[in-house]
């Protein structure tokens, strides 16, 4: 078996939808089996079915003891292929809204009086799995279509490290799926130049404006130097995905420019995916 994906995360964050997307991509999907049984089942599938792509749905319906012993399960699964963990998360208020809209009980509802308590306990129970996750996706503002798009981006390559460069605006919230976040709000802001406001960091007038700033160039060089130095180590440590988010105030000018410049500087060595999260807000 070449590739095993474990899909997990908070109830209501989109695990079932993610498994449906993976099934469409050719993965053999199994959902909601006890964690302790997974190594035996995967070994049997590997021996008898010659599968190349397997996705396993895991959630808090497994016992507490099984969840706490996840490291052992993970190591046994690694004997059968490359293992990555997709961890889905959603902000608490959005989870509450989704459960209220669906009128479905939380899996822990029989043990706690309130939905808030269920959500907090679930986060604690999933810590052993979250700690090992290699792909972290925040689905708070994502439709099923958006989730599919994100998965396609992050699963685009099997063995080599994929660097996801993401621009965002702080006024729309910090992305929860980032491995590293760099704040560039201190740099000169093209927004205050009326001739540049309507453009984005992908447009030449904004790029020319920012390239003339020594501070912008120093910030870029520092971020590029960090990534250029440490990406090989991350890759050698069997990281398949690395999400680096660059944030400015609105996510239209400075962060977009830095992401575009980083892409051009790094794409000769690395597989790059670019996401401009706030593109829908651009004027």
Q: Which residues in 182-209 are b (16+ Cβ under 10 Å) and which e?
A: bebeebebbbeeeebeebbbbbeebbeb
Q: Check whether 237 is labelled as a binding-site residue.
A: no
DSSP 203: S
β-partners of residue 83 are 4
- Rounded CA gap, 58 and 257, in Å? 39
SS3 99: helix
Cβ–Cβ < 8 Å for 242, 162: yes
Known binding residue 16? Answer is: yes
235 is known to lie in a ligand binding site: no
Check whether 114 is labelled as a binding-site residue: no
> Residue 163 in contact with residue 272, Cβ under 8 Å?
yes
The answer to whether 133 is a known ligand-binding residue is no
Backbone φ, ψ for residue 76 (5° rounding): -70, -40
Q: Has 14 been labeled as part of a binding site?
A: yes
Any known ligand binding at 13? yes
Q: Which helix (H) or strand (E) holds 57?
A: strand 53-57
Cβ(158)–Cβ(3) below 8 Å: yes
Alpha carbon 70 to its chain centroid, in Å, reads 21
Other Cβ atoms closer than 10 A to 89: 20
User: Residue 219: how many CB atoms within 10 A of its CB?
Assistant: 20
- For the annotated binding site for ATP, the residues are 9-16
- For the annotated binding site for GTP, the residues are 59-62
- For the annotated binding site, the residues are 9-16, 59-62
């Amino acid at each position: 078996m070449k590739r095993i994906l474990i899909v997990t995360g908070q109830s209501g964050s989109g695990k079932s939808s993610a498994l449906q997307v993976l099934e469409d991509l050719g993965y053999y999907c199994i959902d909601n089996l006890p964690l302790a049984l997974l190594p035996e089942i995967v070994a049997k599938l590997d021996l008898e079915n010659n599968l190349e792509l397997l996705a396993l749905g895991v959630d808090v319906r497994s016992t507490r003891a099984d969840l706490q012993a996840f490291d052992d399960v993970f190591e046994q699964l690694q004997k059968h292929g490359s293992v990555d963990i997709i961890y889905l998360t959603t902000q608490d208020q959005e989870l509450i809204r989704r459960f209220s809209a669906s009128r479905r009980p939380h899996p822990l509802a029989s043990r706690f009086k309130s939905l808030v308590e269920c959500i907090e306990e679930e986060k604690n129970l999933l810590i052993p799995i979250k700690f090992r996750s290699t792909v972290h996706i925040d689905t708070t503002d994502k439709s099923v279509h958006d989730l599919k798009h994100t998965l396609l981006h992050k699963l685009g390559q099997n063995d080599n490290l994929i660097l996801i460069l993401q621009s965002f605006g702080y006024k729309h919230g910090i992305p929860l799926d980032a491995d590293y976040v760099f704040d560039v709000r201190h740099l000169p802001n093209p927004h205050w130049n009326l001739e540049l406001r309507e453009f984005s960091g992908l447009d030449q007038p904004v790029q020319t404006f920012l390239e003339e700033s020594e501070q912008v160039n120093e910030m870029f060089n520092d971020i590029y130097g960090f990534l250029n130095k440490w990406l090989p180590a991350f890759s050698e440590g069997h990281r398949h995905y690395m999400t680096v988010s660059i944030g400015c105030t609105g996510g239209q000018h400075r962060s977009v420019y830095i992401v575009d410049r980083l892409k051009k500087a790094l794409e000769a060595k690395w597989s790059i995916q670019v996401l401009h999260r706030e593109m829908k807000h651009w004027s």
